[in-house]
Structure 1
Amino acid sequence: MNAPEVRVAVVGAGPKALFALQELHERLPSDARASVDVFDPAPPGGAVWDPELPAVLRLNAPAAMVDARFSGFGETLSEWIARTHPAHAGESFPPRRIVGEYLGLAFDRLARSPRLDLRHHRRRIHGLGTGPGLLDADGFDEVLLCTGHAGPGARLPEAVAAAEAGGCVDVRGAALTGLDAVLLLTEGRGGRWSRIPGDRLGLLAYEPSGAEPARIRLVSRTGAVLSPKPERRHPELGPVIDAATERIRAWATAMRGTPAGAVRPASPVSLDPLWRVLLGAAAEAAAVFGVETTGLRLWRTLLTGRPERDAEVWAGRRQAEFLRQRLEIDAGLRRPDEAWILGRLWQGLYREMVRALDRVPRTARDQRRFRAAAACQERTAFGPPAETVRKLLALVGAGIVEIRAGMPAGEFVDAVTTGPGVLRQPVPTAPEPARTPAPALQVSVTDFHDPLYADLHARGLISVRPGERGLLTDTDAACLRPDGRRTEWLACLGRPTEDPVLGHDTLDRTLHADGRRWAAAVVERLARPQDPRRNPRKEHARA
């Protein structure tokens, strides 16, 4: 009797794909095997973690959170670096290319397993079908989409190469990719850093190499900068975060009717209870730190990043002074302010918010509010390492970098990362005070970041709810159709599902359970008796 085999196509070779395939490997029965075809033009591990990247591009998340262990691979990233790259042992933010080596090795160990026949095809998938760049869904039992950042995206090292030494260059985008561009144009061209003696913040001075541009304008729509990650713990916040976590958990249980979080409300939910928890926790934290504030100032800061409209110093005005203040607060040299407090709370409560809001439909008003709050608070909660901010301050002080709001002038380096989800803009919502979503409106191919999702949408295999950008999936990552039915053979993980599922820009495999549930569902389907005369799973897969 032949051993049961499942044929799996995975579109995307980044960490989400790796972790999901590891989960599948661990759950396969001993007499079963999986034939896996992975499609991605980048090497396994993903383009973001390409082992050929310059060393100046560093991990923006703590190395301690990266864990690609499974039964065939027994080292965390930190353990593996200590053994193979001792010069970087103990670094919280090692070079990104080293992370790529680690992820690629984990993929290789997975491919060596006798239980998986894993092949990597270096090409991009644009839709379903049998022609070039298309995926023949009839050749697979399961299709898993892990496409990560949308679109092909220019490789940043090549994009900055044309900038001339001694010239002037605009970099569009002041988020993490914009900072990467600045470092490639300076440190990446031989510039060096030295610690300013006796400086209590550990500030740096920059020594030019002569190969960098004389002027780099870091340009974005708002001019707002990212706050540095804290370098020390702030135990005063612990009790506040613990209490707020319990309140969010209780609200989620009452909303869903179960503590397990599996039941999704049918009607849009008001987030007023969540806003009250966040503002209440912020008021408690302000009292702990002796910060005088008001509910209105906290609410404004939550949604806009500043406590008052005409704030003299905030992330989008006098940015260098604002960044220096962030370092002073973290070092205990300055009293915290509303922006710092809310950023730390957002970071501390994020895991619980992701769990509470998982696939919960929200009112149109709260969709807009949550997106505004997330845009502001994630700049504070999940910014670059403090050392990167010190480098930016050194370049501003040297007159090399200018940070401003607006649009680039002439030629520029594009450092804007395509937004999450599959649509460029959210699907319009029903007008208030309607309590149920309007039927999904017609969208065109150009509304999608990626033609793959435009094709799947045209076939009726996926759906996007009004007011959202990402496609809707079930808790095991199965794609849901416009009529609510499951596309059993098609699943999606990560950034394409943003809005229904939150928090995808992370290497923390414990934040979401969708990959584990997908693997369990695949194994469960593998155990079902199949009708050999037809494959009902591929309904609508053909044009």
Structure 2
Amino acid sequence: MIRLAVIGGGPKSLFALLALHDRLTSASSRQITVDVFDPFPPGSGSVWRGEQPDVLRLNVNMGIVDASSSLSSENFSAWVRRVAPESPAEKYPQRVLVGRYLREQFQLLSQHGNMAVVHAPFVVTGVERAGSTWRVSGPFGSHHYDEVLLATGHGLADAVPFTPFPGAANQHALIGDYSTLTTENIPAESTVWIRGAALTAYDVALLLTEGRGGSWQWPDGDCHDGAGVHYLASGGEPLHIVLSSRSGSLMYPKSESVPERVSACVSHYKQPLREWGRQVRDEVPDCGVGLSGMWSILLDCAQECAHLMGSTASALSLWRTAMTGRSADPGLDAGTLASAVTTAAGLRGSLAVNHYAAPITTAWLWARVWSGLYADLVLVMDRLPRSNQARKEFVRVAHNLERFAFGPPELTALKLVALFDSGILRLATPGESPPHGAVLVDAVTPGPGALHTAAPGGRPSSDIIAGLLHSGHVSVGDGDRGLLTDVDGTALARDGSRTESLAALGRPTEDPTLGHDTLNRGLHGEYGLWAQRVADRVIDQFDS
């Protein structure tokens, strides 16, 4: 009998377990037992828990969500059509529906699957090698397992932020739990200062307005730039809501449609990008690979897209935008950088560009290139040894371009415009401090990886990681935050060898691998290779 411990019960562990189930025969599956450790319902985990307010919506196209298996052929879109036919056809449905779908798929696995899967509603505090097994410890005591899978996602429950926000109404990250945003903690007519100006901060702003009974007045005609959208206050919301961030800017709204000629142009660069990736892996210098060739391909793509859209954006202006996070103003010289999106006017301008009612900007061009080639970038950058300079440059540029490419849906951006116009919402200026008496809310979520900051010197994100690092069973490369793993998720030890029977998937491995903050299970292949390895072990034991 093989005993498997899965630490973390979110989508990544669900995808892995469904893949394992589908690779086992009904006979061999009786040779494995699975305990899934998570204090929250498995499948949805913490992020997608079921009690989230209806105000919160999915921030990505619902079409990418797919937990189908031999137990159920339904992807999320098909499931919604069946269980919630009254829901309007939309790209970004209520987030609570995603959680219901993921939990249902786990329930199908545990109740009707061919292997024994049990939910253990506990937080794991330690994983240690014990001979040929692993000792998994927590408030439940300790148990021994033959295989351990780390899939902790955004972090273990109740983890304290790496950089605490003293005095904040919430002492833990807002990861699916918004119970602290009550009228008792945040009274009506108060001033709220939110640390953060990204997607979680927008959630908080909507929960404190629309979530308290406010509503929206929409114009009869086209409102692509937010003109005519008004917020109707309920009287229960704060008087002022201030978003604050180090950059002093907002994320750019997603473009809901892209011209076919631009999509075709971006697709044309997939092959050159992948060919570059193959070439640089053939001979990696001791200092690691530089990324200038990759950036050249992306710049060529952005320039060709610019030409197709009638823009004169130069390679220099595009690279400046990538390095600074500031878009080139089409009304000025191509090399001049405009202010970032900081106000309703900035959001309106970005929305207008998305609807081609304003000249194309370098931010819009980079959003098309980065989002359109992202799956190929994940493949090309997968475990690629990079020079220190290349690593730092990639982190900087990726951070900037993700603000252009992976921002809020248009509907959320339109609501933010209305809140800006109403005077309730504003963005703090760089260096501004919270006013006296303001209610503080921390909307910064834990970063990806196993360390809070890059190695060497980065502090482990949990006692589990700290213990495994100390024992040498896992490792983190210099300049990275994420665990080093093999292509099947198997952890790599301090000496570079495989730590057999210990694996990690998802956000704990970010940096050596890319793009794990996603519900798109097709973007990464580790979970399938992990499932095949474990299935082979189970079948070998059954046959013997």
Asked if these proteins are the same fold (TM beyond 0.5), I'd say yes
Contact persistence 2:186–2:439 (CA under 8 A) = no
Cα gap change, 1:195 to 1:89, in 2 (>3 Å):
closer
Q: Which moved more, 1:394-403 or 1:228-237?
A: 228-237
Counterpart-to-counterpart distance in 1, 2:202 and 2:50 = 20
Counterpart-to-counterpart distance in 2, 1:411 and 1:200 = 33
Correspondence for 2:306: 286
SS of structure 1 residue aligned to 2:55? coil
Contact persistence 1:215–1:399 (CA under 8 A) = yes
SS of structure 2 residue aligned to 1:373? helix
Correspondence for 2:202: 179
Give unpaired runs (5+ residues) of structure 1. 258-262, 429-442, 533-543
Correspondence for 1:40: 38
Correspondence for 1:19: 15
Cα gap change, 1:343 to 1:266, in 2 (>3 Å):
same
Q: Which of 341, 349, 354 is the matching residue for 2:378?
A: 354
Alignment of 1:243-392 (within 5 A): 243-257=268-282, 268-307=288-327, 311-315=337-341, 318-392=342-416
Contact persistence 1:171–1:408 (CA under 8 A) = no
* 1:398, distance to aligned residue in structure 2 (A): 0.3
Counterpart-to-counterpart distance in 1, 2:346 and 2:137 = 53
SS of structure 2 residue aligned to 1:158? coil
Contact persistence 2:146–2:501 (CA under 8 A) = yes
Alignment of 1:200-219 (within 5 A): 200-201=223-224, 203=226, 204-219=229-244
- One-letter amino acid of the counterpart of residue 394, structure 1: A
Correspondence for 2:168: none
* Percent of paired sites with the same residue: 40
Cα gap change, 1:134 to 1:252, in 2 (>3 Å):
farther
Cα gap change, 1:79 to 1:118, in 2 (>3 Å):
same
- One-letter amino acid of the counterpart of residue 497, structure 1: T
- One-letter amino acid of the counterpart of residue 402, structure 1: R
Counterpart-to-counterpart distance in 2, 1:379 and 1:282 = 16
Correspondence for 2:58: 59
- One-letter amino acid of the counterpart of residue 186, structure 2: A
* 1:180-216 deviation line (CA, Å, top 9, x unaligned): 1001100000000111233441632100000000100
Correspondence for 1:159: 180
Q: Which moved more, 1:61-70 or 1:265-274?
A: 265-274
**TM-score where L is the length of structure 1:** 0.89
Contact persistence 2:327–2:361 (CA under 8 A) = no
* 1:311, distance to aligned residue in structure 2 (A): 3.5
SS of structure 1 residue aligned to 2:369? helix
- One-letter amino acid of the counterpart of residue 232, structure 2: E
Correspondence for 2:426: 402
* 1:277, distance to aligned residue in structure 2 (A): 0.5
Counterpart-to-counterpart distance in 2, 1:346 and 1:398 = 33
2:130 equivalent to 1:132: no
* 1:408, distance to aligned residue in structure 2 (A): 5.1
* 1:451, distance to aligned residue in structure 2 (A): 1.8
* 1:89, distance to aligned residue in structure 2 (A): 4.2
Counterpart-to-counterpart distance in 1, 2:56 and 2:253 = 16
* 1:257-309 deviation line (CA, Å, top 9, x unaligned): 4xxxxx99875111111010111111111111121222221111112122569
- One-letter amino acid of the counterpart of residue 93, structure 1: Y
Cα gap change, 1:270 to 1:95, in 2 (>3 Å):
same
RMSD between superposed Cα atoms in Å: 2.1
Q: Which moved more, 1:485-494 or 1:227-236?
A: 227-236
Contact persistence 1:266–1:361 (CA under 8 A) = no
Cα gap change, 1:529 to 1:167, in 2 (>3 Å):
closer
SS of structure 2 residue aligned to 1:144? strand
* 1:46-70 deviation line (CA, Å, top 9, x unaligned): 1111111100111111111111111
Correspondence for 2:104: 105
- One-letter amino acid of the counterpart of residue 102, structure 1: Y
Counterpart-to-counterpart distance in 1, 2:13 and 2:284 = 26
Counterpart-to-counterpart distance in 2, 1:408 and 1:416 = 17
Q: Which of 6, 16, 27 is the matching residue for 1:10?
A: 6
- One-letter amino acid of the counterpart of residue 265, structure 2: V
Correspondence for 1:96: 95
Counterpart-to-counterpart distance in 1, 2:394 and 2:36 = 35
- One-letter amino acid of the counterpart of residue 148, structure 2: V
Contact persistence 1:166–1:211 (CA under 8 A) = yes
Correspondence for 2:216: 193
* 1:135, distance to aligned residue in structure 2 (A): 7.7
Counterpart-to-counterpart distance in 1, 2:409 and 2:522 = 22
Correspondence for 1:229: 254
